[in-house]
Amino acid sequence: MLLDYAVGQGADTIATGHYARKEVRNGVHYLLKGLDRNKDQSYFLYRLKPFQLERAIFPLGGLEKPEVRRLAAEFNLPTAAKKTVPASVSSASVRSASFCRNTCRPTTAKW
pLDDT of residue 2: 86
Domains annotated on the chain, with CATH: 2-103 (3.40.50.620)
What pTM did the predictor assign? 0.70
pLDDT of residue 88: 43
The residue with greater pLDDT, 10 or 87, is 10
Strands 14-15 and 56-57 turn out to be parallel
19-74 pLDDT per residue, tens: 999 999 999 999 999 999 999 999 999 999 999 999 999 999 999 999 999 999 99
Neighbours of 14 (CB within 10 A): 14
By residue count, the chain amounts to 111
Indicate if the pLDDT at residue 109 is higher than 80: no
pLDDT of residue 12: 94
